[in-house]
Amino acid sequence: MKTNQEILVQNGVSPSIQRLKIFSYLKATKSHPTAYTIFNDLKDEIPSLSKTTVYNVLKLLIAKRLVQEVRIEGNELRYDAEVREHGHFKCDVCGEVSDVFLNQPLNLLLNHSYEVKEIQFNITGVCKSCLTKK
Ligand SMILES: [Zn+2]
Ligand SMILES: [Zn+2]
């Protein structure tokens, strides 16, 4: 297993504390946080952190394809260190977002006749744990 620091270096990102912390935070969570959540969760640990830094680091990680932007509702952007193609299921009750993987890449459904830039697919409903609580 490569360390997060090695992954950054291999992708040409010099691993400053802030970059490493933000990347490691995203690698460790499945919660698809917003930039604001990332900032809030890390600001005590990295007192020098600003929201601008969070945005800049995210931009860099996205450009290096180490993180992807996820749009589930409206214009709200969330961030995901799972970069394989996948969709998201958002629970209407608890708000949890989980990953949904397909057996084959979605762009195959387009018969290669389109140039695909970005794929986002979202499902809403009620998650398993909320269903069993009823
Ligand atoms: Zn739920
Ligand atoms: Zn995801």
> What residues sit around ligand 2, an ion, with C-beta below 5 angstroms?
80, 82, 99
Nearest ligand, measured from the Cα of 82: 2
- Kindly list the domain boundaries of the chain, sorted by start residue: 4-80, 87-133
Which fold would CATH assign to domain 87-133? Dna Ligase; domain 1 (3.30.1490)
CA 89 to ligand 1 center in whole angstroms: 10
Q: Note if the pTM is more than 0.95.
A: no
Which of 26, 18, 7 is CA-nearest to residue 51?
Answer: 18
Which fold would CATH assign to domain 4-80? Arc Repressor Mutant, subunit A (1.10.10)
CA 17 to ligand 1 center in whole angstroms: 34
Token pair listed for 15: 């691993």
DSSP 38-54: HHHHHTTT-TT--HHHH
| Least confident stretch, 8-12, 20-24, 49-53, 106-110 | 106-110
CA 25 to ligand 2 center in whole angstroms: 14
Q: What is the mean pLDDT of residues 93-117?
A: 83
Nearest ligand, measured from the Cα of 92: 1
Q: Is the pLDDT of residue 134 over 70?
A: no
Nearest ligand, measured from the Cα of 122: 2
Q: What is the mean pLDDT of residues 89-118?
A: 84
Instruction: State percent of the chain over pLDDT 90.
Output: 75
Distance from C-alpha of 35 to C-alpha of 39, rounded to nearest angstrom: 6
Distance from C-alpha of 14 to C-alpha of 127, rounded to nearest angstrom: 39
What is the per-residue pLDDT across 75-102, written as a single tens digit (0 to 9) for each? 889 999 999 889 999 999 999 999 999 8
What is the per-residue pLDDT across 22-60, written as a single tens digit (0 to 9) for each? 999 999 999 999 999 999 999 999 999 999 999 999 999
